[in-house]
Structure 1
């Protein structure tokens, strides 16, 4: 893997990571509800899901899934349903408007945050499609080894978790503003609508 090959891939990966998506929406809500640690745990969950999908794609197993219409459709509908559930939960929280102080999470809350982050990524087939559509453009059959393919796949996961951690820290630094009930209700409402939109878009494609 040469720098001339890796540099354009890195630029594309940065653009893909910065594009808002379900992982970003889930992370922001998690950081607002549970504080910095919960946000970081959610980011770790997303990272784990991303690493798994990237590894599967790099090893060639993702192509088998993508070619199976039934499996891909099931994954797409599961992902859409999951995002809709998360969106409804956020909208219900916005309607109630009853919030604990930032950072106060019930027992097991951070464990659920990790699972939520991981499932947000794993049930989004667009992530796998991204790997399967972008990775091959930078791989040369018979020349590029498995190590190079894994490097490219893991680059996206690493960039993604760096971005999510940065967002978590921004929310933490502005926690005084985010702790206002009106702001948190508005954030939950926006997040809920966004997640419902992502779920609907996933379902109709």
Structure 2
């Protein structure tokens, strides 16, 4: 029974994890633009933000569902943050700056190191209220009432690890010099397009929040 429950939970979580979203765009862009250390930091930040929501779901706190004011504030903050990183993508894409692997001797990497990546990833994952509602729904709908807390904690630990391992694997893949060299010729256009997508998403979130 526990194995069946875990498999259902793991598949649902995996499908959500591999679906491209703001975290995915930020992660790949940071890895290519600022280097592997920044990308790994972004991966851990995203995983930790997910971990906070997992802990909240395990504790049974449906704060976002029962606090309309908090949910509204988080949606507006999320929209503002998406707009900010979307504009940053567009602005940088219009200036011919080399990618991280193209810096001779690793110049410029320290400014955008591990901790800057972690902060960006944590904000991206933490300001997305859908993450909180997703984990709450996942534990509510797929985990039986008879399942013990120790098993639920193992589920949560698995999901935290899955987020970090998947994201870190993406960073290691795209920061490989051969792969990065292939991406480089299209990167500025892709970065600009990703910025536009994030700006549109931000406007959609704000409009849906204010005029719902």
Q: Same fold (TM over 0.5)?
A: yes
Post-superposition offset of 1:88: 0.2
Match of 1:194 in 2: 197
- Report what 1:152 is aligned to: 155
Q: Quick check: 1:97 aligned with 2:102?
A: no
Give the corresponding residue for 2:81: 82
- Counterpart of 1:176 in structure 2 is 181
Q: Which aligned pairs between 1:86-125 and structure 2 lie closer than 5 A?
A: 86-99=85-98, 101-102=100-101, 104-107=108-111, 109-125=113-129
| Cα displacement string for residues 46-93 of structure 1 (whole angstroms, at most 9, x for unaligned residues) | 1111111111111112x0332110111101110111011000000001
Q: Which moved more, 1:14-23 or 1:90-99?
A: 90-99
Gaps of at least 5 residues in structure 1 are none
**Change over 3 Å in CA distance of 1:150–1:76 after alignment to 2:** farther
Judged with a 3 Å threshold, the aligned counterparts in structure 2 of structure 1 residues 11 and 185 are, in CA distance, closer, same or farther, namely: same
Length, aligned pairs only: 201
Shift of 1:33: 0.9
* Residue pairs, 1:31-110, within 5 angstroms: 31-61=31-61, 63-99=62-98, 101-102=100-101, 104-107=108-111, 109-110=113-114
TM-score, with length taken from structure 2:
0.86
Cα offset for 1:139?
2.6
Give 3-state SS (helix, strand or coil) of 1:107's partner.
helix
- What is the DSSP-based 3-state SS (H/G/I as helix, E as strand, rest coil) of the residue aligned with 2:35? helix
- Contact 2:86 / 2:198 at 8 angstroms: preserved in 1? yes
Contact 2:83 2:198 in 1 (8 A): yes
SS of the equivalent of 2:111 reads coil
Segment of structure 1 superposing worse, 75-84 or 103-112? 103-112
Residue in structure 1 matching 2:143, options 107, 132, 139: 139
Distance change in 2, residues 1:18/1:101 (3 Å):
closer
Query: Any conservation in 2 of the 1:72–1:125 contact (CA below 8 Å)?
Result: yes
Q: Secondary structure at the match of 2:109?
A: coil
Structure-2 change in CA distance of 1:101 and 1:28 (3 Å): closer
Normalised by the length of structure 1, the TM-score is 0.89
Deviations 1:107-126 (A, max 9, x none): 35432111000000000001
* d(CA) in 1 for partners of 2:13, 2:203: 25
Q: Which residue of 2 aligns with 1:126?
A: 130
In structure 2, the gaps of 5 or more residues are none
Question: Which whole-Å CA distance do the structure 2 matches of 1:153 and 1:202 have between them?
Answer: 28
In structure 2, the residue matched to 1:164 is: 167
